Structure 1
Amino acid sequence: MKEQTLLIEIGTEELPSRFLHKISSCFFENVKKDLKYYNFSYKKIKYFFTPRRLALTILDIDTSDKTFNINKKGPSILDSYDKNGRPTNIANNWAKHCGININEASCLKNKKGEWLVFKKIQKREKIEILLPEIIETALKKISIPKSMRWEFTNQKFSRPIRNIVMLLDNQIIKGRVFNIRSNNLLQNHLCYREKRIKIDSAQEYPSILFKKNNIIANYETRKKNIIENINFIAKKINGFIKYRTELLEEITNLVESPIAYLASFEKIFLNIPKKILIYTIEKQQKCFPIYDIENNLLPYFIFICNINSKDSKNIILGYERVMYARLSDAAFFFHKDRTTKLENYLMSLRNVLFQDGLGSLYEKTIRIQLLVNWISKYSNFNQKDSNRAALLSKCDLVTNMVCEFPELQGTVGMYYALADKEKKDIAIALEEQYLPSFSNDKLPCTLIGCSLSIADKIDTLSGMFFIGNIPTSNKDPFGLKRLTIGIFRIITENNILLDLHDLIKKSISLYNKESIKYSTVYDSIINFFMVRLLYWYKEKKYNINIIKSVLSCQLTQLIDIEKRIQALSFFQKLNDSKSIILSIKRIAHILDKQTENISGDVNTKLIKQVEEIKLFDHIKKFDFITNNLFFEKKYQEILLQIKELEIPINNFFDNIKIYDSNLEIRKNRLILLNKLMKILSKITNFSYLY
């Protein structure tokens, strides 16, 4: 066995920070998959990435001569040969793709049928031959939006590739990747005169990068370095940093030689509302604001530079100038907007189109107001305050601040409402109307915010379906799938007794669309909701059969659906749940075979034998006990009561002949089983759980 260390480094132009994690992990997984395919064994793979490089070190890789199995399944035998036994075009094309004669294929038999298969034991080519192909294939398989093409080769990747290093211990693996010849010269930091760093052995990676030019190739090490440095600087001025994960990750992905610097801004800018100030520092300038012990912002910020310059004073001054310009803009827009009250912007919404075919933002505001008033009946929402919040909900969209900084919609409305002495809950609701804005985002904290968020989201959904902007499996430009999940989460986590049927009906009724059949739009929306509901519960790791069993009952009250799925998940985990489900299955199979009418009441005069009397009594008892439990939606308690039916059901089947020669007795026994099944079906469709 010949175990060596393999180094791969792909030198690129600046990779987009948003996708850097995805690019590196995909490259890692693709290479790992191909190494497994070619039966390369190794101890461990480490992966590294910076804005200008993707790298892998593969430890103790076995590069000795080996064989590997080729096993390619082809078309079915039925599709492979015609009635005269001659190979079809399908079979011949498959054989050609495999590089074999059709006679070299063998037959694979399994429960589903017979298939052509090509099996071969092949000697593995040397890693020197395979590696360039493995790397290029791994890079091409990475799916990234807005890829680039460059040079005469017209190759396609996220950013142009400029350098390839393939090193096996101290030996250069010669080859071309994206038409670039491999070498042992690592790509240097962008700001250094020397464009390459020579590496003599794969074991030197990544330490040689840090040793030469402070390049930290390991993401976690780079992030830790940034955290330690900004904490150290903040403590010097008796401050501390609040870490926003997204910002920290983005900055870590923007640099490869991080250096932290302290800078300041004028104290007058602290008068800008706190969230707007933080947004400007974090989102726009990619810097870290500093807080004091009382959680107030200090007139300082920390920025991360990608090079350790001797002229640090000028770098700091440059950042401070840019920060001054940005904060001046924010202060100017804020003071200009505050020359009038928030509610005075309402009429301006008439001039802003919500969506082509759906009217203006003013019309949307009126629909939201009507929806909020209607929703307030289903919970303890203050109708008057909810109505006021709805009226103000979109006013900030025409302010100078939001026109300049669109991401501050809602936040600006909140601050302006507070400045106008609106009630605190009303002001907070203006910001909360857009929550949750992404997966696992926080939910509105106020009841008014909940009602406003639901109303805003369902109005957008209904409108988009009216004009045909319906999401597909891979395209959702208006984020409607995200809006549905937001509605699900707000309703279920706040225990709001809203019915989707009523909510959708109410929403679409507010659109004046005479030429469109409302029932068709309703069906499309409710089907969309149900599909999203299935995927949502699936992502929450609930059993798919339980989800389908409940959704097949065509329920539309989300709280009811949630409680049933939770109860069935609990019940399924019980040791003895399988046996009672099998008993229910047996009853269902008997009833499914019946062609005669078995509805109606059980005739007690025809019940003679002990086992059927006991089953009848247990069914009556179960129906009585669970009557209130169904009303209170206590499905877990109902399912525990089902266990009491198992012995009577089993005794009934063991001792009673259902298909009695007396037709009246036979029908009566089927009616008895049907009565039981109707009660059980009030919980869920058990056929999915067999």
Structure 2
Amino acid sequence: MIKKTLLIEIGTEELPSRLLYKISLYFHDNFVKKLHFYNISYKDIKWFSTPRRLALKVIDIDTTEKCIEMTKRGPSILHAYDENGFLTQTAIRWLKNCRIDINQTDRLKNEKGEWLLYKRKEKQEKIELLIPKITESALKNIFIKKYMRWEKNNQKFFRPIRNIVILLENETIMGNIFNIPSGNLLQNHISSQENKIKIKHARDYPKILFQKNKIIADYAIRKEKILKNIKENAQKINGCIKNNNFLIEEVTSLVESPTVLLANFEKKFLNLPEKILIYTIEKQQKCFPIYDCKKKLLPNFILVSNINSKKPEKIIKGNEKVMHARLSDAEFFFKNDRKIKLENYLLSLKKVLFQNNLGSLYEKTMRLKKLIKWIAQYNSSNIQDSIRAALLSKCDLITHIVCEFPELQGTIGMYYALEDQEKKDVAIALQEQYLPTFSGDKLPRTSIGCALSIADKMDTLSGMFYVGNIPSADKDPFALRRLAIGIIRIIIVKNIPLNLKDLISKSLCLHHEKNCKNVILSDKIFKFFVKRLLYWYEENGYNIKVIQSVLSYKSTNLIDIHQKIQSISYFLQTENSKLIILSIKRISNILEKENNKITGCINIKLIKEAEEIILFNQIEKFKIDTRNLFLEQKYQDILIKIKDFEKPISNFFKQVRIYDSNSKIRLNRLLILYEIKKIFFSITDFSYLY
């Protein structure tokens, strides 16, 4: 076995920072899969990535020539021979195509049948020829939708590929990837006068990049260095930074020769709302705000430059000028907005279109006002405060700040409402109305915030269904699935006793009164929610059979559904639950065999055997013990009591003859079983759990 070090570097134009980490992992994983496919062994594979390169270094790759066994399956034996045992034309054509005779074939047998099989050994292509093919395949199979096309040949990748290096030890492997010939010249830093860096041996990577231009190709090392230097710079002024892994990842993906520098901005900007300051520093400038020991912002920020300059003060001054301009804009917009109260923007919403067929933002606000008034009755919100929150909810959308910084919608509304002396819960609700914004995001904390969030999401969802903008299997441009999950999470986690069907109907009526009678549209939306419920529970680790068993009853009470799913999941983990389910299955099978409908009431006088008396008494006891438990929806307690049926049912089947010669006794015993089934199926459809 001959073991060597292999290096592959793909030089590109600047890759999208938010996708770099994913692209790198996909490239690595796809390459590994291809090596396994070709049965090429290795000791380890390291991946590297910077904004302008993707690289793999394979340690101890096996480069020895290999033989591979090729197999070709022919026609089945039934079709290969006729009734006299002679080869059919189908078999003859297959043998001719393989250039063999029947004596060179084997047989393939499995559960499905038997076929003719041809095996032959062939020499696998040399690794020097395979590596370029494997590399191009690994790149082309990165499944992220945002591609670019370039040049006449219309190549497709995330950014144009400009340089390829493939080295096996000190030997350059020649090959074309995306029609670009490979070589041994690495792509240099974007600021370097020398375009390329010559590499003589694969083992020199990535050390040579750092030696030549301080390029840190290892993503993890680069990230660690940036984070360490940021903390050190913050400590110089007795400050600290807050953990923001998303920003750290983004900055790591933006630079390849990181230099961390400390800069300042004017103290007057600290008078701006903190969220505006943080948004400008982090989101717009990709820098890090610094806090004092009391977690208050300092008039400083940390930037990460991609240049190792001999005069870093010039870079600092340049960034301070840009930061000053950005913060000055924010200050100007903020002061301009504060000339009038937040509520005075309400009438201006009439000029802003929400959606072509759903009217303006003012009309949406009026719908929210009516819907939140209805929702507030169920989640103990102050109705007048809830209505006030709904009226102010969209007013910040036409402020100068939100027009400039759209991500601050809701947050600006909260700041302005507090300055206008609005109630604190009303102001907070303006910020919370958009929560949750993504899967796993936090939920609104206040009751008004919950009511406003449900109302806002439900109005958008029902409106889009009303105008026909319904999500397809692969497209959901208005993120209605996310809105539905948000409504589900708030109702369940916050334990709000809202009836889902009523919520849908109420919202639909606000778009058009005729929708109140539109059962088909209401059912469509309800089914959409049920699908989201199934997905959400499955994603949270619940058994699909349990979810389906509960959802099959089409309950419109989300709290009831949640309690049942939780209780049944717990029940299935308890001792003897399997025996109980088997008993239910047996009872169901017996009842299904009866062609005639089992009707009537149990006749106590016909209950003779001791075991059926015990079972009947258990039924009556269960009904008495669980009457209040059903009203209180305490399904876990009910299921614990259901376990008491295990022995009486078992003894009943052992000792009592169900199909008695007396038809009345037979029917009476079937009625007992039917009563037991009713008890079990009053909670969920146990047939899904068999």
1:180 paired residue number:
180
Question: Secondary structure of 1:59's partner?
Answer: strand
2:379/2:451 contact within 8 Å kept: no
Aligned counterparts, 1:77-156, within 5 A: 122-156=122-156
Question: Secondary structure of 1:378's partner?
Answer: coil
1:398 paired residue number:
398
Deviation at 1:458, TM superposition (A): 0.5
The whole-number CA distance in structure 2 between the counterparts of 1:380 and 1:82 is 81
- Cα displacement string for residues 607-649 of structure 1 (whole angstroms, at most 9, x for unaligned residues): 1111211111112222222222222222222222222111111
2:261/2:316 contact within 8 Å kept: yes
Aligned counterparts, 1:545-564, within 5 A: 545-564=545-564
The whole-number CA distance in structure 1 between the counterparts of 2:321 and 2:98 is 65
Aligned counterparts, 1:430-469, within 5 A: 430-469=430-469
1:267/1:299 contact within 8 Å kept: yes
Q: Given residue 319 of structure 1, which amino acid in structure 2 is its aligned partner?
A: N
1:436/1:486 contact within 8 Å kept: yes
Q: Given residue 202 of structure 2, which amino acid in structure 1 is its aligned partner?
A: A
2:494 paired residue number:
494
The whole-number CA distance in structure 2 between the counterparts of 1:100 and 1:395 is 79
1:476 paired residue number:
476
TM-score (norm 2): 0.94
Pairing 1:647–2:647 present = yes
Question: Secondary structure of 1:228's partner?
Answer: helix
1:599/1:674 contact within 8 Å kept: no
The whole-number CA distance in structure 1 between the counterparts of 2:472 and 2:207 is 47
The whole-number CA distance in structure 2 between the counterparts of 1:56 and 1:31 is 9
The whole-number CA distance in structure 2 between the counterparts of 1:108 and 1:515 is 63
The whole-number CA distance in structure 1 between the counterparts of 2:521 and 2:582 is 40
Q: Given residue 666 of structure 1, which amino acid in structure 2 is its aligned partner?
A: R
The whole-number CA distance in structure 2 between the counterparts of 1:495 and 1:234 is 43
Closer/same/farther in 2, CA of residues 181 and 368 from structure 1, 3 Å limit: same
- Cα displacement string for residues 259-316 of structure 1 (whole angstroms, at most 9, x for unaligned residues): 1111111111111111011111111111111111111111111111101112222211
1:208 paired residue number:
208
Q: Given residue 616 of structure 1, which amino acid in structure 2 is its aligned partner?
A: F
Closer/same/farther in 2, CA of residues 118 and 52 from structure 1, 3 Å limit: farther
Question: Secondary structure of 1:505's partner?
Answer: helix
Question: Secondary structure of 1:310's partner?
Answer: coil
The whole-number CA distance in structure 2 between the counterparts of 1:311 and 1:142 is 40
1:504 paired residue number:
504
2:508/2:515 contact within 8 Å kept: no
Percent identity, aligned pairs only, is 60
Question: Secondary structure of 1:254's partner?
Answer: coil
1:592 paired residue number:
592
2:341 paired residue number:
341
Q: Given residue 366 of structure 1, which amino acid in structure 2 is its aligned partner?
A: M
Deviation at 1:601, TM superposition (A): 2.0
Deviation at 1:530, TM superposition (A): 0.7
1:305 paired residue number:
305
More divergent stretch after superposition (265-274 vs 516-525): 516-525
Deviation at 1:541, TM superposition (A): 1.4
2:633 paired residue number:
633
1:364 paired residue number:
364
1:408 paired residue number:
408
Q: Given residue 239 of structure 1, which amino acid in structure 2 is its aligned partner?
A: G
Closer/same/farther in 2, CA of residues 494 and 127 from structure 1, 3 Å limit: same
Aligned counterparts, 1:322-341, within 5 A: 322-341=322-341
2:132/2:176 contact within 8 Å kept: yes
Deviation at 1:204, TM superposition (A): 2.2
The whole-number CA distance in structure 2 between the counterparts of 1:469 and 1:100 is 58
The whole-number CA distance in structure 1 between the counterparts of 2:565 and 2:81 is 49
1:226/1:258 contact within 8 Å kept: yes
2:267/2:299 contact within 8 Å kept: yes
Deviation at 1:603, TM superposition (A): 1.3
Deviation at 1:599, TM superposition (A): 3.4
2:497/2:559 contact within 8 Å kept: yes
Deviation at 1:659, TM superposition (A): 1.9
Closer/same/farther in 2, CA of residues 118 and 296 from structure 1, 3 Å limit: farther
TM-score (norm 1): 0.94
1:673 paired residue number:
673
2:506/2:516 contact within 8 Å kept: no
Q: Given residue 472 of structure 1, which amino acid in structure 2 is its aligned partner?
A: S
Pairing 1:256–2:256 present = yes
Q: Given residue 650 of structure 1, which amino acid in structure 2 is its aligned partner?
A: S
The whole-number CA distance in structure 2 between the counterparts of 1:615 and 1:581 is 17
Closer/same/farther in 2, CA of residues 376 and 73 from structure 1, 3 Å limit: farther
Question: Secondary structure of 1:683's partner?
Answer: coil
Structure 2 stretches of 5 or more lacking a match?
Answer: none
Q: Given residue 198 of structure 2, which amino acid in structure 1 is its aligned partner?
A: K
Closer/same/farther in 2, CA of residues 614 and 99 from structure 1, 3 Å limit: farther
The whole-number CA distance in structure 2 between the counterparts of 1:657 and 1:165 is 82
Deviation at 1:115, TM superposition (A): 8.4
The whole-number CA distance in structure 2 between the counterparts of 1:65 and 1:230 is 50
- Cα displacement string for residues 34-54 of structure 1 (whole angstroms, at most 9, x for unaligned residues): 111111122222211111111
- Cα displacement string for residues 350-403 of structure 1 (whole angstroms, at most 9, x for unaligned residues): 111111101111111111111111111112211111111111101111111111
2:38 paired residue number:
38
Closer/same/farther in 2, CA of residues 563 and 297 from structure 1, 3 Å limit: same
More divergent stretch after superposition (610-619 vs 144-153): 144-153
Closer/same/farther in 2, CA of residues 613 and 116 from structure 1, 3 Å limit: farther
1:420 paired residue number:
420
Closer/same/farther in 2, CA of residues 4 and 438 from structure 1, 3 Å limit: same
Closer/same/farther in 2, CA of residues 28 and 593 from structure 1, 3 Å limit: same
Closer/same/farther in 2, CA of residues 55 and 338 from structure 1, 3 Å limit: same
Question: Secondary structure of 2:430's partner?
Answer: helix
The whole-number CA distance in structure 2 between the counterparts of 1:101 and 1:470 is 58
Question: Secondary structure of 2:239's partner?
Answer: coil
Deviation at 1:12, TM superposition (A): 0.7
2:15/2:159 contact within 8 Å kept: yes
More divergent stretch after superposition (661-670 vs 429-438): 661-670
Closer/same/farther in 2, CA of residues 114 and 595 from structure 1, 3 Å limit: farther
Closer/same/farther in 2, CA of residues 476 and 109 from structure 1, 3 Å limit: farther
The whole-number CA distance in structure 2 between the counterparts of 1:99 and 1:300 is 75
2:30/2:141 contact within 8 Å kept: yes
- Cα displacement string for residues 498-544 of structure 1 (whole angstroms, at most 9, x for unaligned residues): 12111111111111164896212111111111111111111111111
Deviation at 1:68, TM superposition (A): 4.2
1:39/1:68 contact within 8 Å kept: no
Deviation at 1:344, TM superposition (A): 0.7
- Cα displacement string for residues 443-469 of structure 1 (whole angstroms, at most 9, x for unaligned residues): 111111011001000110000000111
The whole-number CA distance in structure 1 between the counterparts of 2:560 and 2:270 is 48
Closer/same/farther in 2, CA of residues 102 and 378 from structure 1, 3 Å limit: farther
Q: Given residue 562 of structure 2, which amino acid in structure 1 is its aligned partner?
A: E
Pairing 1:315–2:303 present = no
Question: Secondary structure of 1:510's partner?
Answer: helix
- Cα displacement string for residues 408-465 of structure 1 (whole angstroms, at most 9, x for unaligned residues): 1101100100010001111011000001111111111111101100100011000000
- Cα displacement string for residues 223-280 of structure 1 (whole angstroms, at most 9, x for unaligned residues): 1111111111111111111122221111111111111111111111111111011111
2:536 paired residue number:
536
Pairing 1:2–2:11 present = no
Deviation at 1:65, TM superposition (A): 2.7
Q: Given residue 141 of structure 2, which amino acid in structure 1 is its aligned partner?
A: K
Pairing 1:291–2:298 present = no
More divergent stretch after superposition (98-107 vs 188-197): 98-107
The whole-number CA distance in structure 2 between the counterparts of 1:142 and 1:80 is 42
Aligned counterparts, 1:137-286, within 5 A: 137-286=137-286
Closer/same/farther in 2, CA of residues 575 and 60 from structure 1, 3 Å limit: farther
Closer/same/farther in 2, CA of residues 121 and 354 from structure 1, 3 Å limit: farther
Q: Given residue 651 of structure 1, which amino acid in structure 2 is its aligned partner?
A: N
2:509/2:516 contact within 8 Å kept: no
The whole-number CA distance in structure 2 between the counterparts of 1:59 and 1:100 is 41
